Amino acid sequence: MKFYVCIKQVPDVNAPIQIKEGELIQDTSRMILNAYDASAVEEALVLAEQHGGEVEVVSVGPSKVSETIRKALAMGADKAVHIQTSSDDEYDSATYADILAAYFKDKEYDVISCGKQSQDTDAGLAGSMLAEKLDLPYATNAVGLDIEDQKLVVKRQGDAGQEIIGLPTPCLVTCSNDMNDPRIPSLKGIMQSKKKPLETVELSELGIDESNLSSKTHVTGYQEKPEREAGKKYEGEPEEIAKQVAKLLDEEENVI
Amino acid sequence: MSTLLTHIAISDGKIKRSSLEVLSRCQELANQNGHTSEAVIIDSNASDYMDEVQKYGASKIYLVEDPIFKNHINSPLLKALAKVMEASNPHVFAFASTEGTKDILGALAANQDAAVLSDVSEFDLIDGGISAKRPVMAAKILSSNEAKAEKILVSVRSGSYDLQENPTDAEVETIDFSFDESDLKLTLREIIGSSGDKIDLSEADTIVASGRGAKDEEGQKLVNELADLLNAGVGASRALTEAGIVDPSLQIGQTGKVVSPQLYFAIGISGAIQHVAGMANSKVIVAINKDPDAPIFEIADYGLVGDLYKILPPFIEELKKIKS
Ligand SMILES: Cc1cc2nc3c(=O)[nH]c(=O)nc-3n(C[C@H](O)[C@H](O)[C@H](O)COP(=O)(O)OP(=O)(O)OC[C@H]3O[C@@H](n4cnc5c(N)ncnc54)[C@H](O)[C@@H]3O)c2cc1C
């Protein structure tokens, strides 16, 4: 089976963030592989190990995303494609989906997978957009994957419970990070990754003129969230503090 | 004059309050700006919910009724939504940000060539489109966004707007819908672990959530006892859903549910940003943790430092007294 995994480089949400005059100041040295995408890579590797097949990762972005691509190769992906953009500007989900759709248009594959959302924007749109553009059956928010008779069996988390869905191939699935613990590349994996094929593709080769790429949505600025003030800490005898707080919740907060 | 259309989400035979919050907001925006507010119910028994929707204001309600909508399956739902958009021609189509919505929003936007902003915490109309605020970077900060297009989709976090009753005598239009099994791109084989009998977290007034610190039987017993006493929804951190101790649909956080109750208990939860992303908008937060430096104390209104096994029993006793 041929698996393609779409991966994105994102800033580490655990790193300190500053906002200056509405602009986001990020520590760009702390760019990581989106955790949801890492789970998608892990799952594809496991399925390919179990059922045979090849895993290729695809990423869209400026030159610096190559580090993230190397990470996926070091995890064990067989090949990679870097669709290069010149600008560092964030596109919206639809623009990424357009670029990926142009790339996949004449490719052969069984499964395209990606993270269910991006850790930084939490938009969660690109996967199902890409599926629609490629007219593929899809499932989002997968928490478990399996293959049966050339079909992808997806366990997804829905509103009311978990749903088991059968997807005929070719198909697309978006992955939650609840499904596995992505492997940490071994030293051997890191060494091997340097020799693995990494193809670069220019947008013009996909028939896209970068200067014409315009998003329908725009981020116009960033703001601090109104800080939640730390309340009071109650330390001491458990009995005492339990009684004290229960009383306050009843009398001061009126929430009991 | 343009149309604001609201999707009414049904889950476990009930309208999701969060979609009525969105309808309330759309009705308010329509009133302020001289626009029209409409609503759509897509369900196997869509007409059952009409009366309740009427209370919150829409000049027209579209119904799409078909047995296929008994469970969430994305391909027929997308087809129905596209038909409704044809009939209503909305400038803005607003959804509550449920798992069901997350499953189809991007695909619908691509299908309709619409601009889309997901999971917003507020939105407003501007010239040619909408402006909206979205929590980003695990809800550490807010981004301001604009979407300008002929058609705009938006999904709204639960608890972002208050319910406002606004009874109307809405015109009802049933949309013809038939679904050919051969159009079904995928098959739903089974649903497991329906949380139907539990309190819906995204709408609960009180939530008792537990984390790794309360992972054993005794801890869960105490947590459930507290929840029963307060008629509260039970939630959990990822540490517990991942360990299979709590149903995954009850996970709260960046990956799980976003909640905004009046009262939130974080019991044995460290307060990792991915968890906080889903609960920081609770009105009153009570945390119990034995580590005095646990990050959860930075956002808790009431931070009880100590062993939950020692604090919860007297706490429950005290609450029982108050309740009686
Ligand atoms: C991309 C991504 C998405 C994620 N999404 C989510 C999400 O949606 N929701 C989520 O919750 N997590 C999410 N996580 C995981 C998150 O980062 C944390 O790992 C998780 O929230 C930790 O759960 P916890 O606080 O229960 O466990 P821990 O971090 O292990 O904390 C346990 C706490 O219990 C306390 N404790 C232990 N024993 C006792 C006792 N006897 N009495 C009192 N206190 C005690 C400890 O002091 C500690 O603070 C996500 C992670 C990633 C990378």
Host domain of residue B276: 206-323
Same-domain pairing of B253 and B134: no
The answer to the question of residue B11 being in a domain is: yes
The answer to the question of residue A166 being in a domain is: yes
| Spatial distance between the Cα atoms of A126 and A46, rounded to a whole number of angstroms | 24
The answer to the question of residue B197 being in a domain is: no
Q: ipTM above 0.90?
A: yes
The answer to the question of residue B195 being in a domain is: no
pLDDT digits (tens, 9 = 90+) for A151-194: 999 999 998 789 999 999 999 999 999 999 999 999 999 999 99
For chain A, what is the mean pLDDT? 95
pLDDT digits (tens, 9 = 90+) for B113-127: 999 999 999 999 999
Q: Which of A177, A181, A233, A234 to mutate to test the pocket of ligand 1 (most atoms within 8 A of CB)?
A: A177
Chain A residues whose beta carbon lies within 8 Å of the beta carbon of residue B108: 132
Sign of CA dihedral B208, B211, B216, B218: negative
**CATH classification of the domain holding B29:** 3.40.50.620
Whether residue B257 has its Cβ less than 6 Å from ligand 1? no
Host domain of residue A128: 2-212
Taking residues B60-67, what's their average pLDDT?
97
Residue B211 has which token pair?
Answer: 């984390």
Pick from A34, A17, A35: nearest CA to A225? A17
CB contact under 8 A, B140 and A17: yes
CB contact under 8 A, A238 and B138: no
pLDDT digits (tens, 9 = 90+) for A225-247: 988 899 999 999 999 999 999 99
**For residue B140, what is the nearest residue in chain A, using CA coordinates?**
A225
Q: How crowded is residue A199: how many other Cβ atoms within 10 Å of its Cβ? A: 11
Residue B179 predicted with pLDDT over 90: no
Same-domain pairing of B27 and B137: yes
The answer to the question of residue A242 being in a domain is: no
DSSP labels, B72-101 = --HHHHHHHHHHHHHHH--SEEEEE--HHH
B89 is in an annotated binding site: no
The answer to the question of residue B12 being in a domain is: yes
Q: Is residue B271 classed as helix, strand or coil in its secondary structure?
A: coil
pLDDT at B197: 62
Q: How many domains does chain B have?
A: 2
Atom of ligand 1 nearest to the CA of B211: 26
Taking residues A97-112, what's their average pLDDT?
98
Residue in the block written with tokens 């697309």 = A172
The answer to the question of residue B316 being in a domain is: yes
**CATH classification of the domain holding A40:** 3.40.50.620
Chain B residues whose beta carbon lies within 8 Å of the beta carbon of residue A126: 106
Q: How many domains does chain A have?
A: 1
Pick from A155, A160, A157: nearest CA to B197? A160
Q: What are residue B199's DSSP bridge partners?
A: none
User: Reading across the β-sheet that carries A79-84, which strands appear in turn?
Assistant: A198-202, A79-84, A54-61, A2-7, A111-115, A171-175, A138-148, A151-157, A162-168, B187-192
| Packing angle, helices A93-104 and A126-133, rounded to 10 | 40
How remote is the CA of residue B33 from the centroid of ligand 1, in Å?
A: 45
Pick from A140, A70, A133: nearest CA to A96? A133
Chain B residues whose beta carbon lies within 8 Å of the beta carbon of residue A228: 280, 285, 298-299
pLDDT at B196: 57
Same-domain pairing of B129 and B231: no
CB contact under 8 A, B263 and A249: yes
| Spatial distance between the Cα atoms of B138 and A198, rounded to a whole number of angstroms | 31
The answer to the question of residue A106 being in a domain is: yes
The answer to the question of residue B104 being in a domain is: yes
Q: What are residue B93's DSSP bridge partners?
A: B5, B153
| Spatial distance between the Cα atoms of B272 and B316, rounded to a whole number of angstroms | 26
Of B106, B146, B247, the CB nearest to A217: B146
Same-domain pairing of B246 and B312: yes
Same-domain pairing of B48 and B96: yes
| Spatial distance between the Cα atoms of B28 and B226, rounded to a whole number of angstroms | 38
Same-domain pairing of B36 and B165: yes
DSSP code of residue B164 = -
DSSP code of residue B113 = T
Pick from B53, B6, B11: nearest CA to B26? B6
pLDDT digits (tens, 9 = 90+) for B255-286: 999 999 999 999 999 999 999 999 999 999 99
Whether residue B294 has its Cβ less than 6 Å from ligand 1? yes
Residue in the block written with tokens 């759709």 = A101
Contact in structure between B164 and A139 (CB atoms under 8 Å) = no
pTM, full prediction: 0.96
The answer to the question of residue A160 being in a domain is: yes
pLDDT digits (tens, 9 = 90+) for A68-81: 999 999 999 999 99
Q: Which of the residue ranges B21-25, B121-125, B166-170, B304-308 would you say has the lowest mean pLDDT?
A: B166-170
A94 interfaces chain B, CB cutoff of 8 Å: yes
Q: How crowded is residue B168: how many other Cβ atoms within 10 Å of its Cβ? A: 16
pLDDT at B42: 98
Of A132, A160, A234, the CB nearest to B110: A132
| Spatial distance between the Cα atoms of A177 and B253, rounded to a whole number of angstroms | 13
The answer to the question of residue A252 being in a domain is: no
Same-domain pairing of B173 and B280: no
pLDDT at A226: 85
pLDDT at A179: 93
How remote is the CA of residue A234 from the centroid of ligand 1, in Å?
A: 21
Listed residues B149, B183, B217: the one ending a domain? B183
| Packing angle, helices B99-112 and B74-88, rounded to 10 | 60
| Spatial distance between the Cα atoms of B192 and A82, rounded to a whole number of angstroms | 39
Pick from B143, B157, B168, B136: nearest CA to B36? B168
Taking residues B154-161, what's their average pLDDT?
96
> Closest residue (by CA) to atom 49 of ligand 1?
B270
B252/chain A closest Cα distance in angstroms? 13
| Residues in Cβ contact with B223 at an 8 Å cutoff, skipping those fewer than 6 apart | B208, B210, B214, B234, B267, B312
> Closest residue (by CA) to atom 40 of ligand 1?
B307
Q: Which of B258, B270, B315 to mutate to test the pocket of ligand 1 (most atoms within 8 A of CB)?
A: B270
pLDDT digits (tens, 9 = 90+) for B5-35: 999 999 889 999 999 999 999 999 999 999 9
Contact in structure between A175 and A41 (CB atoms under 8 Å) = no
B237/chain A closest Cα distance in angstroms? 12
CB contact under 8 A, A140 and B285: no
> What is the separation of C-alpha B69 from the centre of its chain, rounded to a whole number of angstroms?
19
Same-domain pairing of B29 and B147: yes
Residue B194 predicted with pLDDT over 70: no
Helices (H), chain B: 17-33, 50-54, 74-88, 99-112, 217-230, 238-242, 273-276, 308-323
Interface with A, mutate which of B15, B141, B203, B242 (most A CBs under 10 A):
B141
Put simply, the chain B residues between 105 and 164 with a CB less than 8 A from any chain A CB are 105-111, 114-119, 131, 133-149
Same-domain pairing of B44 and B121: yes
| Spatial distance between the Cα atoms of B234 and B246, rounded to a whole number of angstroms | 9
pLDDT digits (tens, 9 = 90+) for A134-149: 999 999 999 999 999 9
**For residue A13, what is the nearest residue in chain B, using CA coordinates?**
B137
How remote is the CA of residue B275 from the centroid of ligand 1, in Å?
A: 7
How remote is the CA of residue B213 from the centroid of ligand 1, in Å?
A: 8
Helices (H), B123-264: 217-230, 238-242
CB contact under 8 A, B249 and A162: yes
Same-domain pairing of B141 and B289: no
For chain B, what is the mean pLDDT? 95
| Spatial distance between the Cα atoms of A147 and A48, rounded to a whole number of angstroms | 10
Of B131, B141, B303, the CB nearest to A232: B303
Same-domain pairing of B166 and B216: no
Sign of CA dihedral B238, B106, B133, B26: negative
B271 is in an annotated binding site: yes
Same-domain pairing of B170 and B98: yes
Interface with B, mutate which of A163, A165, A219 (most B CBs under 10 A):
A163
Q: Is residue B176 classed as helix, strand or coil in its secondary structure?
A: coil
Q: What are residue B42's DSSP bridge partners?
A: B64
The answer to the question of residue B190 being in a domain is: no
| Spatial distance between the Cα atoms of A104 and A126, rounded to a whole number of angstroms | 14
CA within 13 Å, CB half, B50: 17
The answer to the question of residue A251 being in a domain is: no
